[in-house]
Structure 1
Amino acid sequence: MNTALKVFRKSSFGLLVGLLLMSGGTAVAQDAVEGKKVFEANCTVCHSLEADVVGPALKDVHKRRGDEWLVKFIKNSQELVKSGDKDAVAIFEKFHKVPMPSFASTLSEEDITNVIAYIKEASDAPAEAAADQPATIGTDQQSGMAMVVPAGVAGEEVGFLDLPPVLLFTFALAGAVVLLILMVLVMVFRLFVPMLGDSIYQEEFRNSLAGRMIFLMRGDTTLVTGKATDVIHSHHDFDGIQEYDNDLPPWWKTMFYVSIVFAIGYMLHFHVFQTGALQAEEYEMEMEQAAILAAMTPDDPNAVTDYDVMTDATALENGQKTYVQNCAACHGQNAEGTVGPNLTDEYWLHGGDVNDIFKTVKYGVPAKGMVPWQGKLTKDQILEVSSYILSLQGSNPANAKEPQGEKE
C-alpha cells in the first residue's frame, strides 16, 4: 500500500510539473501574440525585424541590449539619450537624430513586455524563403532594346569586396601581371642602357624615337615638350621682349592632328553618310523608350496625377482610421506634429496640394525618415488619408509643432 502511494505521489508530482510547463509555454506564446498586435499597431511605421527603416532593425535586439534597457527605451527614449546612455545616444546619432515617440503614457508595462516577447519569438523563428520577385524591365544602353533584369539586380549597388571570389582573384591576378611587366621593363631598362655606354649621347641616336624614349625615362622631356632653339624669330624689340622661332610642343601638334582626323570622321559619320543619330534624333528615341518603360511601370514616381480632394464623410472617416493607425505615431493623434511636421498649418515641406500629399505618402521621403506607404496602403487609402489631412487645415490642435517648409 505504501509503495503504491509513493508511486502515485511521484506520478502526480510529475504530472503537475508537466502541466505547469505547458501552461508557462502557452502564456509566453500568448504574450507574443498580444505583443504582435501592439507591435503592428505602434511600431511597424518605423521598425522592421530584418532591416533598418526610420529606426533600427529589431531582430535579436534583446540579446544586444537586454529587457530592462528595452523597457526604458520604449517608455521614453529621449530620457535615456539625455542621461548619456551610450547605446541610446549612438542610436539617436545613427538615425539622423529622429526621436522615437514616448510610449510611457500610451502603452502599459504589460504591453511593452508583450512587445519584447514578440520580438524574441520572431527573432528565433526560422527565416522564411524569400518570395519570387518579378524581373525588372530595363533598357540596353547599346541597342536601346528592352531587356529583362533579374529581381534583386536592378538598381542594386554591389561593393567591390562583395563580388564573386573568382572575379576578385581575376582582378588580383591581372594586377599582379601588370605589376610584373612593369618591374621587368624597369629591370631591362636598367640593364640595357649601361650596355650602350656613351653611344646613347650621340646626336643621331639621341634624336631617334628610341633615344628620346630612353632620355624621357631619365628625366629629359624633349619627347613631349620639343627642343627649344635660340633662333630669334625677328629682330624687333618689343619692350625688351624677344620672340624665338621654336616649334610647337609635339603633344600639342599630335592633339591638333588627331582633332582634324576626328572632325573629318565626325562629319562623314553624321552629316555625309548619316549613319549616326544627331542630338534631336537621339532625344526623340530616348523619349520613345521612356514612354515604353513608363507604360510598363505603373508606379512611376514622376507620373503626373490629377486627383481631386475627397470630401464625403465615409472617405474622410476611412482616412482618419488609416491616419490613426499608421501616421499618428510620427505626426501626432491630431496631426500636431511630433517626430514629423505639423500637418494642420499652411506650411508644407513637399507641397500642400492633394496630389503632392498623395505622392509624399506613397513614395515617402526616406532621407527625412518618412517611409513609403506604397505596397502597404492601396491607392484609395492613400487618397483618403491625404484628403483627411487636408480636412485638418486650420484646426489648431494643442501643442502644435512650429511651422516647417513654405507657405501654400
Structure 2
Amino acid sequence: MISVKKILGKSSLALVAGLLLIGTPAVQAQDAVAGKAIFEGNCTACHSIDADVVGPALKDAHKRRGEEWLVKFIKNSQELVQAGDKDAVALFEKFNKVPMPAFGTSLSDDDIKNVIAFIQQESEKPAAVAEAPATAATDSTATAATAETQDVAFMDLPPVLHFTFALAAIIILLMVLVVVLMFRLFIPMMGDTIYEEEFRNSFAGRVYFLLRGDATLVTGKDKNEIHSHHDFDGIQEYDNDLPPWWKMMFYVSIVFAVGYMLHYHVFKTGSLQAEEYEMEMEQAALIAAATPDDPNAVTDYKPLTDATALESGKKIFSTNCAACHGPEGQGTVGPNLTDEYWLHGGDVNEVFKTVKYGVPAKGMVPWQGKLTKDQILEVSSYILSLKGSNPANAKEPQGEKE
C-alpha cells in the first residue's frame, strides 16, 4: 500500500508546482501570443512598436501610461479626450486630431490586456543591430569615394596651366602700365590745352578727368539751359542730356532685344520658357521612371471581378483597413467607401495609387512596403465592389461625386 505521507508529499509538490506555473512567464507568453493576433488584426494599420505611424510608437507604452489608462483609452479614446484627460488630449493634438477607433464593443478587457502584454513583450526585446558585411562596407565606401568630386589645389595643376595664368597676368599688367605711361608722358606735354573744351569733351579727356575725380564721363554735363520759357508754378525745365551710362545701357538693351528676337522667334534656334519647361518635365519623368516606385507612372489596371480575388481583397481589407474605414467600408476615422463620392478619385487606378502611396497628411499610411502589387489591386477591386452596399451608420459623403 502507498502510505498517506507519500500521497500528501506528492500532492504538495504538485500544488506548489502549479502555483509556480501560474506566476511564470509561460502564461504571460500565452497572453502575448493572443495579444499579437489581436494587435495584427486591429492595430497594425495605425501603430508600430518602434515608430510613429498614424498613431504613436507603442514601445514602453505600459510604462508611460499604465495598464488601467491604456484599457480606457483603447476602449474609447474620445471619451478621455472629451473628459479633458491631459495625456489623451496631448496625443490627439500631436497626431493631427485623427480619432482612434473605439474598441469597447469589439474587444473585451482581457483582449486589451493581452494586447498590452504583447506590447510589453515586444518592448523588452533587445534592439537588433544590423551588421553589414565588411566587403559591402568597403564597396560602399569605394563607391562614395569615386562619386565624390575631388578638389584640386592650384599648385597641383599642370605646369602648362600655371604658365598660361602667369602669361595672362603679365599681359594685363603690361597693358595697365602702357596706359599709365601714356597718360604720364603725353598729358603734361599738352600743357593748359587739357582744360580746353575740345579736349575735355573727347574720350581721352573724359577718361583723364574721370581719373582725377571728374565724373562727367559717367554722368554727362549739365547744360543749365532752360528747355522752354513756360513757367509751371515756378518750376522750370532744363535741357540736359541723359547720363551716358543710361544711354549706353539703353542702346545695349536694343541690340540685345534684336538678337533675342532673331534667336528665339525668327531662326528658332533657342527654346522658349514653355518649351524648356516641357523638356525638363520629360527629363524628370524619364529619371523617375527608372525607379520601381514612380508615383507619376500611368497605370491601366482593370478592376478584378472574380470571386477568388474579391475574397482575398476582403480579407486584406478586414485585416488592414477596417480599423479606419469600418468592417463594411462605412467609414469611421477614414471616409465612407460605399458611396459615390471620392477624395482622391474613384477609378481603380486612382484607388490603387491611394492605397499604395497613402495620404500621410490625412493619416493614411502607404501600403507599398506591406502589400504586394497584386494584393493592392485585389483590395482596390474589393473597395470598388462595396459601392452602393448602403451599410448601417454610414459616414456622410466626402469629396467629389464620380
Q: Is the TM value for this pair above 0.5?
A: yes
In structure 2, relative to structure 1, the CA distance for the partners of 1:22 and 1:235 (3 Å cut) is: farther
Question: Where does structure 1 lack aligned partners over 5 or more consecutive residues?
Answer: 1-8, 136-147, 151-206, 213-224
- Determine the C-alpha separation between the residues in 1 that align with 2:294 and 2:347: 19
- CA deviation map 1:334-372 (0-9, x unaligned): 111110111111111111111111111111111011111
Q: 1:313 maps to what in 2?
A: 307
Q: 2:42 maps to what in 1?
A: 42
Q: 1:334 maps to what in 2?
A: 328
- The 5-angstrom pairing of residues 36-185 of structure 1 reads 36-130=36-130
What SS class does the counterpart of residue 46 from structure 1 fall into?
coil
- Determine the C-alpha separation between the residues in 2 that align with 1:54 and 1:255: 63
Once the two structures are TM-superposed, the CA of residue 16 in structure 1 deviates from its matched residue by 5.0
AA aligned to 2:84 is: G
AA aligned to 1:59 is: K
Once the two structures are TM-superposed, the CA of residue 21 in structure 1 deviates from its matched residue by 7.0
- The 5-angstrom pairing of residues 364-383 of structure 1 reads 364-383=358-377
Asked whether the equivalents of residues 356 and 366 of structure 2 are also in contact (C-alpha less than 8 Å), the reply is yes
- Determine the C-alpha separation between the residues in 2 that align with 1:339 and 1:235: 82
- Determine the C-alpha separation between the residues in 2 that align with 1:373 and 1:315: 18
Equivalenced residues, count: 311
- Determine the C-alpha separation between the residues in 1 that align with 2:250 and 2:329: 69
- Structure 2 residue corresponding to 1:395, chosen from 375, 379, 389: 389
AA aligned to 1:39 is: F
Asked whether the equivalents of residues 330 and 338 of structure 2 are also in contact (C-alpha less than 8 Å), the reply is yes
Query: Could you tell me the percent identity over the aligned residues?
Result: 70
Once the two structures are TM-superposed, the CA of residue 38 in structure 1 deviates from its matched residue by 1.4
AA aligned to 1:333 is: P
Once the two structures are TM-superposed, the CA of residue 393 in structure 1 deviates from its matched residue by 1.0
What SS class does the counterpart of residue 29 from structure 1 fall into?
helix
- CA deviation map 1:302-355 (0-9, x unaligned): 111111111111111111111111111001111111101111111111111111
TM-score (normalizing by structure 2): 0.65
Once the two structures are TM-superposed, the CA of residue 228 in structure 1 deviates from its matched residue by 10
- Structure 1 residue corresponding to 2:230, chosen from 236, 254, 257: 236
What SS class does the counterpart of residue 32 from structure 1 fall into?
helix
- Asked which structure has the greater CA Rg, the reply is 2
Question: Where does structure 2 lack aligned partners over 5 or more consecutive residues?
Answer: 1-8, 137-142, 146-208
Q: 2:339 maps to what in 1?
A: 345
In structure 2, relative to structure 1, the CA distance for the partners of 1:349 and 1:291 (3 Å cut) is: closer
In structure 2, relative to structure 1, the CA distance for the partners of 1:395 and 1:21 (3 Å cut) is: closer
Once the two structures are TM-superposed, the CA of residue 108 in structure 1 deviates from its matched residue by 1.5
Q: 1:302 maps to what in 2?
A: 296
Once the two structures are TM-superposed, the CA of residue 406 in structure 1 deviates from its matched residue by 0.7
In structure 2, relative to structure 1, the CA distance for the partners of 1:79 and 1:22 (3 Å cut) is: closer
TM-score (normalizing by structure 1): 0.64
- Determine the C-alpha separation between the residues in 1 that align with 2:220 and 2:295: 57
Asked whether the equivalents of residues 77 and 99 of structure 2 are also in contact (C-alpha less than 8 Å), the reply is yes
- Determine the C-alpha separation between the residues in 1 that align with 2:280 and 2:237: 53
Once the two structures are TM-superposed, the CA of residue 121 in structure 1 deviates from its matched residue by 2.1
In structure 2, relative to structure 1, the CA distance for the partners of 1:395 and 1:284 (3 Å cut) is: closer
In structure 2, relative to structure 1, the CA distance for the partners of 1:89 and 1:287 (3 Å cut) is: closer
Asked whether the equivalents of residues 358 and 364 of structure 2 are also in contact (C-alpha less than 8 Å), the reply is yes
- Determine the C-alpha separation between the residues in 1 that align with 2:222 and 2:88: 70
Q: Once superposed, what is the RMSD of the aligned Cα atoms?
A: 4.3
- Determine the C-alpha separation between the residues in 2 that align with 1:257 and 1:131: 67
AA aligned to 1:356 is: E
- Structure 2 residue corresponding to 1:362, chosen from 356, 359, 376: 356
In structure 2, relative to structure 1, the CA distance for the partners of 1:354 and 1:263 (3 Å cut) is: same
Once the two structures are TM-superposed, the CA of residue 110 in structure 1 deviates from its matched residue by 1.4
